[in-house]
Amino acid sequence: MAKIIKLLIIEDNEDIIDLIKLYKPESMEIFDAKDGIQGLKFFDEEKFDLIILDLMLPILNGYQVLKKIRETSDIPIIILSSKNLDFEIILGLDKGADDYLVKPFNPMELFARVNALLRRVDSKKNNKTIKSGNLELNMETCEVFRSGKIIDLTGQEYKLLEFLMQNKNKVFTTDILLERIWNDNEYYDNNIVSVYISRLRDKIGDRDCKKKHIITIRGLGYKFND
């Protein structure tokens, strides 16, 4: 028997919810919340496979909901919004969304994106090792190897490297890294990110080679160069 995929839609427009439900595959079960507070309540009470999130929500907006969910979960999230300016799309993705679809939308395209994200998640679950050049990171044992030799990393160093390697070639600002790795802890500021980036560069050998793994993008942030 095929697994039932559970989708949470956080959207206050009934017509859009009805449209999505009309096109949903039989293998998917849809729950819907009409505001940010209700959406977070559903998220805490039920285990979902993917979230479809509107930005212009009552009580808590989509950005606030996204930030709250990302404090504890890496569940795939697709933003569905009428906000179509480039900076709004980039902000949504930077805040932790996996995809962004502008209203009005084709529901068949939405479910194509849903399926693509779910396949990506399944692939990550099945593949516990990330490799890049002479680096190998094992997500099951939380060990990192350089040219076959284990590297001694602290917990936070490992979390930062794992996040960067899981998101190869994507640029992340120091604010986003602080939020995702340190959960915006009030005791830390952006300087902690540059300190840990420097430590990682020392340990993975970036100081000694021409082709660097961790690249600084001036004025923007950092990326893992694959």
pLDDT tens track for 114-151: 999 998 887 766 668 888 888 999 888 889 998 888 99
The whole-angstrom separation of Cα 116 and Cα 108 is: 12
State which amino acid sits at residue 83.
K
Query: Tell me, what's the pLDDT at 125?
Result: 65
Higher pLDDT, residue 84 or 69: 69
pLDDT at 2: 60
| Domains of the chain from N-terminus onward | 5-125 (3.40.50.2300), 128-224 (1.10.10.10)
pLDDT of amino acid 168: 87
Whether residue 7 is predicted with pLDDT greater than 80 in this model: the reply is yes
Asked if residues 59 and 12 have their Cβ atoms less than 8 Å apart, the reply is: no
* Helix extents (H) in the chain: 14-23, 36-45, 62-70, 86-94, 107-126, 155-166, 174-182, 191-204
> Please, which pLDDT band fits residue 1 given cuts at 50, 70 and 90?
very low
Q: Would you state the pLDDT for residue 94?
A: 82
The pLDDT of 10-21, averaged and rounded, is 94
Q: Across the strands, what pairs with 199?
A: none
The rounded distance, in Å, linking the Cα atoms of 160 and 164 is 6
Distance CA(169)–CA(105), nearest Å, equals 28
DSSP label at 2?
Answer: P
Segment 45-53 shows an average pLDDT of 93
Q: For the chain, count helices (H), then strands (E).
A: 8, 11
Vertex 115 angle, CA 109 and 118, to 5°: 145
- Binning pLDDT at 50, 70 and 90, where does residue 190 land? confident
Strands 50-53 and 77-81: parallel
The model carries a pTM of: 0.59
